[in-house]
């Protein structure tokens, strides 16, 4: 494993070490992550084998929680549906983000900076707020219904704008698409314009240039963005809760219910561990094509 | 008699259509991004007890309500203070980690995995693990215990990932010169490293603040009676019809974007001068 800094750091003189003892520098952060990051996850793993009843949750070692999850079709079906929603959200984000990323990468000078910041700004806002904003657009008194009624196109508000799986896609793409746009934009920006000129000079049609030059070079960005969006979408809670109604419910909502209303911590822990396992499995699979850590360090670290 | 001017040679530009299409598409995309935000700003002035259209006149009363209700002010104070402390804590830890990472050492890869883990963990699980963990430790859910831990957990990886390149990019020759001249490590840090990295550290801390200020999914599971702004906002959406929600949304939007923009500009300047 090469050190994350290799290649970037100006080479220090031999024998001159950076200041500080590495052990003491790393200790506070590592201790925090072990105690508050890793330990709670391991503990939850243990709780997922405990037993919850009306008398509370008691230590045990039994597979009842996991068995229930497999036996009752509700949970497996919801997991499959959640994976489907996350996958489709990823694909939709890719389709919508790629042209925008290209647009940003092909701007120049101050205009480019303005456009990039303009894409960023909405994503600096809490996703709870950005999910909420769709209610007064799609709801009964919403912008669309009131406009259509004002134009006389409909006589009563349309109900199906909200609270279904489609609205969940809209909300998830709206909330998370920047995580697709940004890595693709960064990858496209690295492409030497001379390559595209050369392809054009050699007679390549725009589509051929895209297919054989641009797309392969932007592939790392596409993968990074897809991983981010999929991870965020698969654990969504806010968007399906606010926009999905009963038909748009996702796995995250089922997990939350165990803690917020059913008070079944052992089963909730088992559901949580399942989601963690799904994410881990996903990362393991896509990790064959792309270094997961490079997704987060932008290939720089 | 004038010779007719030769027309300029026609340059075939196969991308003209695509450039126009791209511009059009970007316009639609920006509309998609901003229309909902514009709608919420317009609605925040609507003099109507129901959130939505039609507009029934303009009023500032919802802003007055947001900025004077004790619940709201308490939540703003909670979010701002926990955000500031979480930002300082996570940026401090990230700075130490980053300085440690400048050394050649074994096990770096494992430490990096540990740092990135909280990002890979689904957000909802990130909140629930702390609920379960602290619940069994008998620690009550409070702002300065559980919420702070949840926020630092969430913010630390981002703080590290934004700070780490900034720690590595600067020119090491000054530091090495000071070392050759016999300066103590602390003096080197105080007089050479810190002045060089300070803009980057400040930008990182501000970025960390905005992440904490907007954090919801982890907080909601470990918040006690002391609510943060996103949690209060959420409870208002879910529990009741609150006509001042658009105004509250606008206030949240203004705070988040103002701090984020400042962090972005400071960070860009720091990265340029480094």
- Interchain proximity A5–B249, CB inside 8 Å: no
Query: In a structure prediction context, what are the per-residue pLDDT tens digits for chain A, which is 301 residues long?
Result: 344 444 444 555 555 678 888 889 999 999 999 999 999 999 999 999 998 877 777 888 888 889 998 998 999 999 999 999 999 999 999 999 999 999 999 888 899 989 999 998 888 899 999 999 999 898 888 888 888 888 888 888 888 888 888 899 999 999 999 999 999 999 998 888 888 888 888 888 888 888 888 888 998 899 999 999 999 999 999 999 999 888 889 999 999 999 988 888 999 999 999 999 999 999 998 887 777 777 776 544 3
- Which positions in chain A touch B260 (Cβ < 8 Å)? 120-121, 124
Establish if A9 touches chain B: CB-CB under 8 angstroms. yes
Tell me if A47 and B132 make a contact (CB, 8 A cut-off).
Answer: yes
CB-CB under 8 Å, B25 with A200: no
By the 10 Å C-beta count (0-12 exposed, 13-18 middle, 19+ buried), A98 is classed as: buried
In this predicted structure, what is the pLDDT of residue B75? 93
Q: Which of A218, A223, A234, A195 is nearest to A285 (CA)?
A: A223
Contacts of B131 in chain A (CB under 8 A): 259
Plot region of B138 (φ>0 → left; ψ -120 to 50 → alpha; else → beta):
left
Task: Map out the domains of chain B as residue ranges.
Answer: 70-273
Out of A5, A128, A276, closest to residue B122 by CB: A276
| pLDDT score at A5 | 44
Cβ–Cβ gap B152/A102 under 8 Å? no
CA distance B231 to B238: 10
| Chain B residues near residue A106 by CB distance under 8 angstroms | 19, 22
Q: B37, B101, B250, B255: which to substitute to probe chain A, counting the most A Cβ within 10 Å? A: B101
Which CA distances in Å does A76 have to A172, A250, A274? 22, 11, 11
Nearest by CB to B168, from A9, A32, A128: name it.
A9
pLDDT above 60: residue B67: yes
Report the alpha-carbon distance of residue B87 to residue B101 in Å, rounded: 20
Best probe of the A interface among B42, B132, B146, B172, by most A CBs < 10 A, is B132
Q: How far is it, in rounded angstroms, from Cα A155 to Cα B243?
A: 25
**Residues ≥6 apart with Cβ < 8 Å to B247:** B44, B62, B63, B65, B66
pLDDT for B211-238, tens place per residue?
A: 999 999 999 999 988 899 999 999 999 8
Min Cα–Cα distance to chain A from B70, Å: 21
Tens digits of per-residue pLDDT, B106-138? 888 899 999 999 989 999 999 999 999 999 888
- In CATH, what number does B70-273 get? 1.10.3720.10
What is the three-state SS of chain A?
A: CCCCCCCCCCCCCCCCCCCCCHHHHHHHHHHHHHHHHHHHHHHHHHHCCCEEECCEEECCCCCHHHHHHHHCHHHHHHHHHHHHHHHHHHHHHHHHHHHHHHHHHCCCHHHHHHHHHHHHHHHHCCHHHHHHCCHHHHCCCCHHHHHHHHCCCCCCCCCCCCCCHHHHHHHHHHHHCHHHHHHHHHHHHCCCHHHHHHHHHCCCCHHHHHHHHHHHHHHHHHHHHHHHHHHHHHCCCHHHHHHHCCCCCCHHHHHHHHHHCCCCHHHHHHHHHHHHHHHHHHHHHHCCCCCHHHHHHCCCC
pLDDT in tens, B71-99: 889 999 999 999 999 999 999 999 999 99
Residue A114 contacts B where some CB pair is shorter than 8 Å = no
* Token pair for B248: 């509250």
List chain B residues with CB under 8 Å of A39. 133
Distance separating alpha carbons of residues B222 and A234, to the nearest angstrom:
22
Contacts A147 to B, Cβ<8 Å: 53
Of A39, A100, A129, the CB nearest to B253: A129
Cβ A128–B230 below 8 Å, yes or no? yes
Compare all CA atoms of chain B with the CA of A22 and give the residue at the minimum distance.
B100
Contact B132 A40 (CB under 8 A): yes
pLDDT for B131-189, tens place per residue?
999 998 888 888 898 999 999 999 999 999 989 888 877 677 888 888 888 888 888 88
ipTM: 0.87
Chain B residue at shortest CA distance from A93: B29
Average pLDDT on B1-10 reads: 58
- Domain A64-297 in CATH 1.10.3720.10? The answer is yes
Nearest CA in chain A to B123: A235
What is the pLDDT, as a whole number, of residue B31? 94
- Kindly determine whether residue B169 and residue A8, on different chains, have CB atoms separated by under 8 Å: yes
Quote the CA–CA distance of A219 and A196 in Å, as a whole number.
16
Q: Are B104 and A99 a contacting pair at CB < 8 A?
A: no
- ∠ CA A78-A163-A273, nearest 5°, is 25
**B26: which chain A residues are within 8 Å (Cβ-Cβ)?**
99-100, 103, 115
Q: Determine which of A1, A23, A26 to mutate to test the interface with B (most B C-beta atoms within 10 Å).
A: A26
> Least CB-CB distance to A122: which of B37, B103, B261?
B37
Residues in chain A with CB shorter than 8 Å from the CB of B146 are: none
| Closest Cβ–Cβ partner in B108, B115, B253 for A33 | B115
Residue A58 at interface with chain B, using a CB cutoff of 8 Å: no
Q: Is A182 on the interface with B (CB under 8 A)?
A: no
pLDDT, residue A4, reads: 46
Query: Is the CB of residue B227 less than 8 Å from the CB of residue B75?
Result: yes
Å between B85 CA and nearest CA of chain A = 15
Of A73, A79, A85, A78, whose CA–CA distance to A243 is shortest?
A: A85
Could B125 and A139 be called an inter-chain contact, meaning their C-beta atoms sit closer than 8 Å?
no
Tell how far CA A143 is from the center of its chain.
28
Per-domain boundaries in chain A:
64-297
Q: Give the count of Cβ contacts less than 8 A between chain A and B.
A: 282
- The residue of chain B with its CA nearest to that of A241 is B238
Shortest Cα–Cα distance, A133 to chain B (Å): 6
């Amino acid at each position: 494993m090469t050190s994350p800094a290799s290649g970037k750091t100006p080479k220090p003189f031999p024998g001159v070490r950076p200041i500080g003892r590495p052990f003491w520098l790393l200790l506070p952060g590592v201790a925090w992550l072990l105690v508050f990051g890793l330990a709670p996850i391991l503990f939850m793993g243990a709780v997922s084998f405990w037993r919850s009843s009306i008398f509370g949750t008691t230590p045990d070692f039994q597979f009842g929680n996991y068995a229930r999850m497999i036996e009752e079709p509700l949970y497996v079906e919801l997991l499959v549906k959640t994976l489907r929603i996350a996958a489709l959200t990823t694909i939709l984000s890719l389709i919508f983000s790629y042209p925008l990323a290209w647009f940003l990468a092909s701007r120049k000078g101050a205009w480019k900076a303005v456009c990039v910041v303009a894409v960023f700004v909405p994503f600096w806002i809490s996703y709870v707020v950005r999910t909420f904003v769709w209610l007064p657009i799609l709801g009964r008194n919403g912008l669309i219904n009131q406009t259509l009624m004002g134009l006389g196109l409909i006589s009563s508000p349309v109900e199906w704008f909200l609270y279904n799986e489609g609205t969940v896609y809209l909300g998830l793409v709206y909330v998370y698409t920047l995580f697709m746009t940004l890595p693709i934009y960064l990858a496209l920006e690295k492409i030497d314009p001379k390559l595209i000129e050369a392809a054009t000079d050699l007679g390549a049609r725009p589509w051929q240039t895209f297919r054989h030059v641009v797309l392969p070079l932007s592939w790392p960005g596409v993968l990074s963005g897809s991983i981010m969006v999929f991870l965020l979408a698969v654990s969504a809670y806010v968007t399906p809760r606010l926009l999905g109604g009963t038909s748009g419910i996702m796995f995250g909502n089922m997990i939350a219910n165990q803690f917020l209303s059913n008070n079944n911590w052992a089963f909730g822990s088992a559901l949580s561990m399942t989601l963690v396992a799904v994410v881990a499995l996903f990362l393991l699979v896509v990790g064959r094509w792309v270094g997961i850590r490079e997704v987060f360090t932008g290939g720089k670290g | 008699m004038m010779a007719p001017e030769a027309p300029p040679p026609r340059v075939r530009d196969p991308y003209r259509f695509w450039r126009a299409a791209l511009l059009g598409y970007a316009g639609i995309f920006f509309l998609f991004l901003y229309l909902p935000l514009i709608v919420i700003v317009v609605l925040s002035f609507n003099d109507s007890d129901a959130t939505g259209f039609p507009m029934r006149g303009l009023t500032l009363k919802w802003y007055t309500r947001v900025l004077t209700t004790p619940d709201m002010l308490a939540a703003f104070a909670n979010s701002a203070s926990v955000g500031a402390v979480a930002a300082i804590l996570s940026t401090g830890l990230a700075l130490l980690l980053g300085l440690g990472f400048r050394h050649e050492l074994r096990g770096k890869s494992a430490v990096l995995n540990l740092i990135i883990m909280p990002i890979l963990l689904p957000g909802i699980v990130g909140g629930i693990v702390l609920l379960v963990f602290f619940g069994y430790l008998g620690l009550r859910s409070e702002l300065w215990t559980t919420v702070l831990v949840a926020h630092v957990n969430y913010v630390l990886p981002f703080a590290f990932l934004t700070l780490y390149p900034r720690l590595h990019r600067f020119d090491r020759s000054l530091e090495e010169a000071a070392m050759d001249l016999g300066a103590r490590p602390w003096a080197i840090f105080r007089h050479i490293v810190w002045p060089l990295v300070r803009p980057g550290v400040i930008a990182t801390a501000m970025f960390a603040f905005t992440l904490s200020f907007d954090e919801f999914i982890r907080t909601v599971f470990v918040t006690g009676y002391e609510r943060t702004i996103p949690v209060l906002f959420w409870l208002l959406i879910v529990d009741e019809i609150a006509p001042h929600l658009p105004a509250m949304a606008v206030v949240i939007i203004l705070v988040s974007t103002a701090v984020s923009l400042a962090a972005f500009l400071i960070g860009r300047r720091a990265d340029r001068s480094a």
